[in-house]
Amino acid sequence: MYRSIIAVALVLAMGSFSVAQAGTFSIGADISELTRADILTAGPSLHVPAANLGLTEGDNLNALSSGLDTGSVIYFSVAGSSGILVTTNASGLLVPPAGFNTTLYSGSQLGLNDQNDLDAFNFDEFDFGGFGGVGDGIPDISVFYGLEAGSPSLDAGADETNYDSKSTADDIFLNDPGTVYAHGGAMGLEFGDDLNGLVLLDFQDPGELTVGTDEALFSLAEGSPTLSKGMDLFGQEISAADVFYTNFDGSFGIFATASELGLDATFDVDALEVQPSTIPEPFSICVLGAGLVGLAIRRYKR
């Protein structure tokens, strides 16, 4: 099986996290005054209203990142769950985990119950205080996110002939639903795919996609056409419980299989994050030339 190695940039040890460091998240169904398009904090409390991202109450924000993601440990949640799980590779390079996971937070620690679905989450990198750090609900750092298929802010007229010029559920958006940071085709995805979890390092020229330099881990929702193929070009089985890697060159690779995450293929990984860096100065990361570290992947090209 073909494997390519991405250059090693950072080695981070696993730290301990308080509930406050769970940062921000979105939910899969409305709770009282809170909607699926809002960014929330533990409580749950409103952190960034949907309107401040240009979204409507009918939208579902189902992937979330600050674009500053670096780390050595994978955190995730699965569909139908409000808890956050952590993989067992506690330190060293970011390599596929050993097939076990433990609970980092139960949903109740975030103010959620067992019926709530944690749909996306992002740790507070570099103590920025989340996306709306000054408390006014207006993002003061970049918000990268995905929208679930059927969200009204997506382009209704997209089809197989134009989806890489329209706003669709396989795209990564930046701050506004009309601003596409990366179309699905840059990740090797197809029309109808639904980006479900996101870890992103927008390393060069913040806010602009740099092919081959910017990197991401992601998952896909059940029903995505790419998953319906059942396996990639190298015969590796793929599912909604797998985590994929891309550097936006029109292809993706399997980074961690369901079994490596301690799951089986019937699960759906719908929230994804890596351990945040503890570098004291926010932009020291640029000096270090950091990337998502030590990735060993199996490539798939559209």
Contact 230, 176 (CB under 8 A): no
At residue 16, the pLDDT reads 40
Question: Which of 131, 121, 125 is closest to 26 using CA atoms?
Answer: 121
Q: How confident is the model at residue 294 (pLDDT cuts 50, 70, 90)?
A: very low
pLDDT of residue 289: 39
pLDDT in tens, 102-117: 888 899 999 998 889 9
Q: Report the pLDDT value the prediction gives residue 282, as an integer from 0 to 100.
A: 33
pLDDT score, position 87: 81
- Give yes or no for a contact between 249 and 212, defined as CB atoms under 8 angstroms apart: yes
Q: At 88, is the secondary structure helix, strand, or coil?
A: coil
Asked if residue 11 has pLDDT above 70, the reply is no
Segment 200-242, tens digit of pLDDT: 999 889 999 999 999 999 999 999 999 998 765 566 789 999 9
DSSP for residue 139: -
Most confident of 252-256, 284-288, 292-296: 252-256
Q: b/e per residue, 102-125, with b = 16+ CB within 10 A?
A: eebbebebbbbeeebbbbbbbbbb
Q: Binning pLDDT at 50, 70 and 90, where does residue 302 land?
A: low
What's the token pair of residue 7?
């250059």
* Range of lowest pLDDT (6-10, 226-230, 252-256, 264-268): 6-10
- Distance separating the N- and C-terminal Cα atoms of the chain: 18
Q: Average pLDDT for residues 269-282, to the nearest whole number? A: 67
Task: Please tell me the least confidently modeled range out of 43-52, 61-70, 86-95, 176-185.
Answer: 86-95
User: Residue 25's closest CA among 95, 94, 83, 104?
Assistant: 83
Please, are residues 197 and 267 in contact by the beta-carbon 8 Å criterion? no
Phi (first) and psi of residue 21, to 5 degrees: -75, -5
The string of pLDDT tens digits covering residues 134-184 is 778 888 889 999 999 999 999 988 999 999 999 999 999 999 888 999 999
Torsion angles phi and psi, residue 64, rounded to 5:
-150, 135
Round to whole Å and give the CA distance between 98 and 259.
9
Residue 8 has pLDDT above 70, yes or no: no
pLDDT at 233: 54
Percentage of the chain lying above the pLDDT 70 cut: 76
Strands 101-105 and 118-122: unpaired
Whole-angstrom Cα distance, residue 11 to residue 293? 7
Q: Which segment of 4-8, 81-85, 169-173, 291-295 scores lowest on mean pLDDT?
A: 4-8
